[in-house]
Amino acid sequence: MENTTHIHFRAETDSDNIVWLHFDKADGATNVLNAEVFEQLDQHLQNIAAQCPRGLVILSDKSNGFIAGADITAFTKVSSKKQALEFLRMGQDVFNRLDALAFPTVALIHGFCLGGGTELSLACRYRVTRDDPGTRLGLPEVKLGIHPGWGGSARMVPLLGGLKSMDLILSGRSIDGRTGKRMGLVDMVVPERPLRDAARKLVFDAPPPHQPAWYDRLSNHFLVRPLLARVFAKQVGKRVSKNHYPSPYAMIDIWRKHATSKTAMLTAEAESLAGLITGVTAQNLVRVFFLQEQLKSLGKDKSYQPKYVHVIGAGTMGGDIAAWCAFRGFQVSLQDQSPERIAPAMKRAYVLFKRKLKRPIKINEAMDRLMPDHKGIGVARADIVIEAIFEDAEVKRSLYREIEPRMKPDAILATNTSSIPLEELSSALSSPERLVGLHFFNPVAMMQLVEVVNGQSTSASVSAQAMAFTRKIDRLPLPVTSTPGFLVNRILMPYLMEAVVLEAEGVPAVLIDKAATSFGMPMGPVQLADTVGLDICLHVAEILAEHFNAEIPERLKKLVSDGNLGRKSGRGFYEYKKGKPVKPGAGSGNWNMEEITNRLVLRLLNESVSCLREHVVADKDLLDAGMIFGTGFAPFRGGPMHHLDAVGAKVLYQQLESLKLLRGDRFTPDQGWAALTDSLGEETT
């Protein structure tokens, strides 16, 4: 065997004259594509072309996968459309060279093969994947506010037809090898051991590459495309608006205009993407990606290896937290006052496991990991005890007094309290440093964020362990101080209360919700309040009102006292049929939508400024991350503080002042604005 070694690639030629090009990015655990990688790949392809081998197989030496996509840090360095275009054309040229090789080329895929990875594989004549659910192919670019630009759509569209390829590109979803084979994206799906033999066979046999069926081809026909393009746009429109997320719409246009010409599509891909990459949406979504990485890195303490979790309180939260921990592989015991109180949680757990795990053997294994334990025997072996009982400080304290002597000396005690300061609870403990808050959000299986609440006595190591545990159950930890409402509820509540005030003033609920969703919120505040439960909203609002001297709208109190608690009771602001709101029309009133949006958003921003001033979180980035992952705050705006900076602190401050005059003291700008406007060198008064 002959060997040539480069930094990121290694080429070997075997005795059958097949070149095996190994990609093993030198400076990272994952293969990603950047300018340097492209340069080296290009050099290799030129050498290999000159060598005229029997075939070329491209494979990854990384255990986690083939290629995860483009190096996203490169996106933040692109400063102009021209620079972006050069980078994209460079990648396209390299993949075109690969595509044009006269001998069989095979991408040998295991693990992640996403974005640029799938684009590279599409420039090969064949794709072989390992047969396991962890092997994923896809073009997820729309999730970052962009679309494929290295020929991903130009090559996928003729291979699969318009319908299948646009479905993959517009949804950004990834698929395993078997699904890829069914769709025509993958030529062979084989277990680990015969992977190389499969690639070798394709080189030797050189079968004709996959051709789409006639009906798949038909979807690319020039008469069909305008019609399908409208259908695609309508489907995309249900999820995102063109103003906020232009990339899927741009992709539909490119396909509609150029589907049958690879050259034209390549040019259009690069031109369009160069504009998108440098646009605000993509830059903000890339920011969100890095915020997520930042939260993940907070839980990186690898030395912490808990095994046993004991959850006390099998209600709405505790039951679901226990199920989630068991789903993520922990041995969990679940305690409540009686077996009858645990039973509903076990049923919900089964439904969760069935939905997530599908295979009966896996479901049974997960059920075996979750033990009902009404006597609380599990306390003694638990590495972490999570308390999620009634929101009553004395009840919680007396439980702590009872369990602490039975806990392992190094076990953590985590409370899911949503409002009680940790200091009020830790007084019952002889080791108060072991108490930390793990504030989960409802529904646990859907909400990514967990606030890790640090009381004055919480030790740094317990806090670090709580964050590491949060990562182990695949949640994002956000360290916050033990102050009323912590971060997310405190910022969300004024926004929800303003929605209630607006509704009480007579603004139709649908219009209030529309103002918020048009701003970019995933759900309007009225529907959100109904979904959370109006009793829970009222409870949190009361706690916050105590500390922050805020007023609670009478309308909310009345709804709760009348038993209209939102979705769970069938009626709140909206009426619910089968769990879905029946939304009345908006009526004929002439409402000022801009003012409605401003009132909602400014109260949220004002509270964000207040939290930052009080150091509830360490910095602006963590605040933005918390609101994006805890509430879905318009990701394309990059978070509340990023939005505030983009619009300008002075402008927003003045809007608050005007609203204060018009609508009352609740719009009084927080003192924290002074620092923000000063930092811009501006006057605040």
User: Which residue, 61 or 402, has its beta carbon nearer to ligand NAI?
Assistant: 402
Where does this chain touch ligand NAI (CB under 6 A) — which range of 175-183, 312-320, 359-367, 500-508?
312-320
Would you count residue 314 as binding ligand NAI (CB under 6 A)? yes
439 has catalytic annotation: yes
The tokens 């089964």 sit on which residue? 350
Shortest Cβ distance from residue 605 to ligand NAI (Å)?
24
Q: Are 562 and 531 in contact (CB under 8 A)?
A: no
Shortest Cβ distance from residue 495 to ligand NAI (Å)?
17
Q: Edge to edge, what strands does the sheet with 2-5 contain? A: 2-5, 9-13, 18-23, 55-60, 105-109, 126-130, 188-190
Shortest Cβ distance from residue 573 to ligand NAI (Å)?
18
Shortest Cβ distance from residue 250 to ligand NAI (Å)?
39
Q: Which of 139, 276, 312, 623 binds ligand NAI (CB under 6 A)?
A: 312
Where does this chain touch ligand NAI (CB under 6 A) — which range of 415-423, 451-459, 549-557, 652-660?
415-423
Would you count residue 572 as binding ligand NAI (CB under 6 A)? no
- Tally Cβ neighbours within 10 Å of residue 547: 13
Shortest Cβ distance from residue 591 to ligand NAI (Å)?
31
Biggest CA pair distance of the chain: 83
Where does this chain touch ligand NAI (CB under 6 A) — which range of 26-34, 314-322, 472-480, 620-628?
314-322
Rounded distance between C-alpha atoms, residue 326 and residue 357, angstroms? 12
Query: Which backbone phi and psi does 136 adopt, to 5 degrees?
Result: -130, 130
Rounded distance between C-alpha atoms, residue 225 and residue 504, angstroms? 48
Shortest Cβ distance from residue 337 to ligand NAI (Å)?
5
- Indicate which residue of 8, 439, 642, 643 is catalytic: 439
Using CB positions, name the residue nearest to ligand NAI.
315
Task: Give residues with Cβ within 8 angstroms of 193, minimum separation 6.
Answer: none
Give residue 192's Cα distance to chain centre: 30
> Per-residue x/- mask for ligand NAI, residues 607 to 646, rule CB under 6 A?
----------------------------------------
User: Which residue, 395 or 618, has its beta carbon nearer to ligand NAI?
Assistant: 395
User: Which residue, 337 or 668, has its beta carbon nearer to ligand NAI?
Assistant: 337
Would you count residue 315 as binding ligand NAI (CB under 6 A)? yes
Rounded distance between C-alpha atoms, residue 62 and residue 60, angstroms? 5
Would you count residue 335 as binding ligand NAI (CB under 6 A)? yes
Would you count residue 318 as binding ligand NAI (CB under 6 A)? yes
Query: Which backbone phi and psi does 633 adopt, to 5 degrees?
Result: -45, 125
Query: Total residues at the site for ligand NAI (CB under 6 A)?
Result: 23
Q: How many CA atoms lie within 13 A of 117 on its CB side?
A: 26
Q: Give SS3 for 336.
A: coil
Q: Which of 31, 416, 457, 608 binds ligand NAI (CB under 6 A)?
A: 416
Residues 524-553 interacting with ligand NAI (rule: CB under 6 A): 536
Tokens representing 149 are 């630009």
User: Which residue, 222 or 390, has its beta carbon nearer to ligand NAI?
Assistant: 390
Q: Which of 336, 383, 404, 498 binds ligand NAI (CB under 6 A)?
A: 336
Tokens representing 240 are 């995102």
Where does this chain touch ligand NAI (CB under 6 A) — which range of 29-37, 267-275, 334-342, 625-633?
334-342
Would you count residue 598 as binding ligand NAI (CB under 6 A)? no
Task: Give residues with Cβ within 8 angstroms of 500, minimum separation 6.
Answer: 526, 529, 553, 555, 556
Helix (H) or strand (E) run with residue 488 in it: helix 488-504
Rounded distance between C-alpha atoms, residue 462 and residue 433, angstroms? 7
User: Which residue, 33 or 565, has its beta carbon nearer to ligand NAI?
Assistant: 565
Rounded distance between C-alpha atoms, residue 124 and residue 563, angstroms? 63
Where does this chain touch ligand NAI (CB under 6 A) — which range of 25-33, 413-421, 452-460, 664-672?
413-421
Rounded distance between C-alpha atoms, residue 126 and residue 112, angstroms? 17
Give which of 531, 441, 548 is closest to 494, Cα–Cα: 548
Where does this chain touch ligand NAI (CB under 6 A) — which range of 39-47, 122-130, 161-169, 332-340?
332-340
Q: Give SS3 for 21.
A: strand
Shortest Cβ distance from residue 567 to ligand NAI (Å)?
13
Give which of 175, 189, 414 is closest to 318, Cα–Cα: 414
Where does this chain touch ligand NAI (CB under 6 A) — which range of 81-89, 115-123, 362-370, 383-391?
383-391
Shortest Cβ distance from residue 225 to ligand NAI (Å)?
47
Residues 388-407 interacting with ligand NAI (rule: CB under 6 A): 388-391, 395, 399
What Å distances lie between residue 317 and 254, 259, 564, CA to CA?
A: 46, 50, 21
Q: Which of 91, 115, 162, 313 binds ligand NAI (CB under 6 A)?
A: 313
Would you count residue 346 as binding ligand NAI (CB under 6 A)? no
> Per-residue x/- mask for ligand NAI, residues 431 to 470, rule CB under 6 A?
---------x-x----------------------------
Rounded distance between C-alpha atoms, residue 70 and residue 524, angstroms? 34
Shortest Cβ distance from residue 399 to ligand NAI (Å)?
5
Where does this chain touch ligand NAI (CB under 6 A) — which range of 127-135, 414-422, 499-507, 650-658?
414-422
Helix axes 152-160, 262-277, angle to 10 degrees: 140
3-state secondary structure 226-294: HHHHHHHHHHHHHHCCCCCCCHHHHHHHHHHHHCCCHHHHHHHHHHHHHHHHCCHHHHHHHHHHHHHHH
Would you count residue 341 as binding ligand NAI (CB under 6 A)? yes
Shortest Cβ distance from residue 449 to ligand NAI (Å)?
11
Q: Which of 316, 333, 531, 677 binds ligand NAI (CB under 6 A)?
A: 316
Just list the catalytic residues. Answer: 439
Residues that bind ligand NAI (CB under 6 A): 312-318, 335-337, 341, 388-391, 395, 399, 416-418, 440, 442, 536
